[in-house]
Structures are given as structure tokens and as C-alpha cells.
Chain A
């Protein structure tokens, strides 16, 4: 069961892109340029591109094409969960430090990809530690230790 059919998706995209083109053009027009040594200046390119984008989107609006199958509601929810996890990872990355945050997120992701709890937690712990070793000792990369520790 698809959320919406592909022609609707293309039309929606076309409308969104026309909106984007309008936004880009208005932003570009409002640029203040003290002076420019070339006659083109910083505005012309974005404005030209916005016009091309709008024209192409119009064609798409009139002649929408076929595209892939959209996920069902259940899968869409899972997708949101993955994105949520990645967002949490970003939020915790510096605060909890690499090891803790990675361990948690790896376990969560593994679980979302249908690993059992046990496997998920084991993966989280092992992969977090293994990758920490690889990155810091093997490749000399500095990773956040976590502000809560010190």
C-alpha cells in the first residue's frame, strides 16, 4: 500500500521546486554587492539557474513521470525512527562522547534492522570499541571523549 502515487509525487515535487526557484531568485536579488570586478556579479548565476529550474519544473508539472514505489506507512515509521536515531546520535555525539553515543546508536540501528536485543547490544558494544580503536590508535583521528566526564 503506497502512500501516494508517483504522478502526484512528481507534481508535488514540481510545485516545491518552483517555490524553491522563487525563493532563490528573491534571495539573490536582495544581495548587496559593494562592488564587483566582473560584469556578471554574484547575482546572475543563481537567478539564471532559478529561471531554468522553474522552467524545468513546469515541464515536470505538465508531464509528470513514473518513479519508484513509496514506502507503506509502517516502513515510513521505521524510516523516521532511523532518522530520529541519527539525530539523537548527532545530539549526543559530543555530550556523551564517541564510545557511549556510538554504542547506543549502533544497538538501536541494529535493532531497527531486526537484530535480536542481545545481538544488537553486543554489536553496539563491540563495534563502538573496535571502531574507537581503529580511528584513534590506527588512524590518529581525534574523537570526542564526552563532556560529562570532565
Chain B
């Protein structure tokens, strides 16, 4: 049954392919670490190169898969070190990763995130190997109504993020959802809030949004800090370099749960690393955050999104390899790469091109081991980014932001938009908003509206479709439980304390 995998390892273990897996992992880490330049660009840029070099299909795919997984590893670096997410999946990583770096624990934080990435990816690749065809059948059971219920669930799981200022959290989320409504309406083709600017027809790009919100506002905040006389102006001290076994063990259940959750979300076509990171983070916060340390540099808050986004990256291979349906933007590009080699992924791929399917899965195993081996010892080196003086670091962030946005759009409007969003992000942060709800609102809100309207278009307006299936009903109940149970427990314990008093 697993002949294809054994053959696959045979393919992957040739010196050329091992070298390519290594090169891909390295390049991917670099692509992921640079804000705005994510795996999609990496693959799109290197795909024609692989083709012109005349690499055979499986070798090209092994390198591209290395880039893909490498980028998920790399995305966390600027999240932790600079509070600027390197890619979509790494937004939640900033929440606890950066506070850890500020405490002088950048090295261990990078190490832990490498370990959790590895665990998450390994869970997902095992799942991919064992259950891919089965999961693919299950994934298509998710239709618009089920996705809508999933989004309701995701929003209600966000309630745990409310924190000390629930009004501002809610406003942030609403603003995020509103930003997602800009552009051509996906149902009717009507332009919403585009003000006759063609640049806004496709809506506000995710990369423009995160670079503006995080990177540009970070530059402004750094300037403020640099002008402050008190101790905050100091760069964080560099403490120890390696993550301790104790820290890893503290997070073991978090990693396993988040990895599993990330994998499942990744398998569903249409949801990706950003949703996986958000849902796993909020779940872990709910489960583990007894002392209120999440958001202030909790190891588990760092491990959760990292395990989840890597698992989701590997999970999105499931619909691509088994159904020929890309589960994410990046797998869409990989699909294009395969087509260039005259290989059509889909139900027949495992029987028709076993060396490609097996080689790819084997290279995911190898790539992950390479990445762990690459990232653990180098954590200390990467952490030294923090010792770069601000007058070098800030211009660096600025040019990366510009290049990241420019190479995506070849257009200055996107850069102006990034600057405007940056000012907006700065003001929000000064006004005591957290940026995570804005991003979550943006990611989840768009999906929520689209899927609600798709579901109702299918049923002709009958709202019954929204909870008809077992899957959606289950998600509705889970969402309600998330909102009601904590309140109920709160009441119960209040009653108990008043009695005992």
C-alpha cells in the first residue's frame, strides 16, 4: 500500500534531490523571513527557473515543496524578532513571540517555534500519508453552509481575545471585516467602496494590509521608543540561545492539538494558514491560559500558531494531490508547476505518477528534518538581528516593505495604500487597540459573508440550509458552547464563592 512512499524515498534520497530539498528549504526560509515575500512568490519566481534548468518533474517539485515548507518556518522570524509577520500564517505568532523576544528570549523563542513547526508539519505529513484519499472525500462535504458555520465558530472562539478592553477588540474586528468588504463583491460583481479606482477592485491585498499595519506602524513606534529617555529605549538583552527541554515539554500538548487542528483546517479547500493560526491560538488560550500570560510572552501562545500554520501548509496538499483542487494560494501555484510538467494532480496521480506523489511526500519528510536541523542551531545567530542598531534595522524594514509590496503589484498605488494603512495601524496601536482582531476580522469576515451568501444562493433564501447538515449543526453547537459555557462557569463559581463566604 505504501509502495509509492518507499519508491518516493528512493527518489528523494538521490544526491541531486537531497541537494535540491536543502536548497529549497534554505531559499524558502529566506523568502518566508522577508515580510511580504511569501512562498507564493518564491515558488512563482523559481518555477520557471526549475523548468528552464531542465530538472525532472519530481526534482522540481521537491525543491518547490522545500520552498513552501521553508517559507512557513521562515515566516515566524520577523514575527518574533520585529513584530512584523513574515507571511499570512505568522500573524498570530507575533502575539507571544515578540513579547518573548523583548524579554531577551529571542533565541529560545526561535528554537521553540522551529520545534513546534516541526511537530505540526510532521503530524500533518503523517496524516497526509495515511489518510489523504479518505480526508479528501470528507473535505468536499464542507460546502458554503458548513464554511459559514465554521466562521461563526471561529468568531465565537475569538471572544477569548476580548481581554481587558472588549469594546476596542470588537471595534477592531468590525473594522477588519469592513476592510474585507472593499472590492468587487464576489456574488453580484458590484463594486463596493472602490471609488472608481481599479486598484481597489480586487480589494485590499492581504500583504499590503499586514505590511502596512505591522511593519510601517512598527517603524513609527520604534522612532518613538528611540526618542524616549527611559529604559524602554534600550534594546532587549540577548539571553540564552537555546530552547530548554522544559519549555518544549510544557508545550507538548499544545503542539499536538494545534498540529492536528491546523492539519484539518488546511485540508479544507478555501481556508489556510491564517485561519489555522487564529483558531489554534484562541483554543489554546482558552484551554491553557489560567494565569493570563497569553499575549505577554507565553511559550504555549507561540507554539500553538506555529504548529498550526505548518500543519495547515502540509494539509493543503491533501486536496491538491488527491482531488486536484488547490487548498491554498500556494498549492494553486504548485498545481500550475505540475501542469507545466504535464502532470495533472488528482485522483489518478497516485497510480499514474507514483514517483511524483511519493517523491513529493518523501521530500516533505526530508525537508522538515532539514529545516529543523537548520533552524535549531542557527536560532542564536538569527536572534542577533535584535542587536542591529535601529538606524540600520529601520531602513531595512522600510525597503523590505516597499519591495515586498512592489514586486506583488508593480504599481505605486499599492505602496501608497500600504503607507495609509500604516498610519492607520499606528493610530490604532496608540489608541490601545490590538492588531490581531483587525487581521482576524479581515480574514474571517470576508469568508463569512461569502459563504453565507453562497449558502443562501443555493437554497434560494431558505436559511434552513445553514444548520441542515450534521457538520454545520455540530459547529453551531460548539460555537454556542464557547460563548455560553465560560459565562455559566463564571456564574457557578460566583455562586460558590458567595456561599462559602
Contact = CB atoms under 8 A, between A and B. Distances in A.
Interface of A: 6, 9-10, 13, 17, 24, 27-28, 31-42, 45-46, 49-50, 52-53, 56-57, 59-60, 63, 65-68, 70-71, 74-75, 78-79, 82-83, 86-87, 89-90, 93-94, 98, 102, 105-106, 109-115, 119-120, 123-124, 127-128, 131, 135, 138-144
B7 interface: no
B426 to A, nearest CB: 8
Given A38-B461, A41-B453, A82-B223, 12 more contacts: A32-B190, A36-B187, A37-B188, A37-B457, A49-B178, A56-B171, A87-B419, A112-B223, A139-B27, A139-B45, A141-B41, A142-B407
Interface centre among B403, B423, B456 (most CB of A within 10 A): B403
A55 B188 CA distance: 28
B178 A135 contact: no
A42 B187 contact: yes
Contacts of B222: 113
A132 to B, nearest CB: 10
Given A93-B402, A127-B399, A28 B192 contact: yes
A78 B461 contact: no
B177 A71 contact: no
Interface centre among A56, A70, A131 (most CB of B within 10 A): A56
A61 B358 CA distance: 60
Contacts of A17: 171
B170 interface: yes
Contacts of A33: 188, 190
Query: What is the interface of chain A mostly: helix, strand, loop, or mixed?
Result: helix
A109 B178 contact: no
A17 B175 CA distance: 10
Contact of A90 (B168, B181, B412, B453): B412
Interface stretch (B69-77, B309-317, B429-437): B429-437
A125 to B, nearest CB: 12
Interface stretch (B244-252, B295-303, B359-367, B390-398): B390-398
22 contacts: A38-B456, A38-B457, A40-B452, A40-B453, A52-B170, A60-B168, A65-B165, A65-B167, A78-B223, A78-B227, A89-B402, A90-B419, A98-B403, A105-B399, A109-B395, A109-B398, A113-B223, A115-B389, A131-B399, A139-B42, A140-B49, A141-B37
Contacts of B407: 135, 141-143
Contacts of B49: 140
B253 interface: no
B201 interface: no
Q: Which 9 residue pairs are nearest across A and B when measured between Cβ atoms?
A: A67-B432, A115-B391, A106-B395, A113-B391, A38-B457, A42-B185, A39-B461, A110-B391, A38-B453
B220 A82 contact: yes
A83 B422 CA distance: 10
Given A67-B430, A82-B223, A86-B419, A31 B187 contact: no
Given A31-B192, A93-B402, A102-B399, A141 B461 contact: no
A67 B432 CA distance: 5
B223 A106 contact: no
Nearest to A90: B415
Contacts of A110: 391-392, 394-395
Contacts of B167: 56, 59-60, 63, 65
Nearest to B34: A139
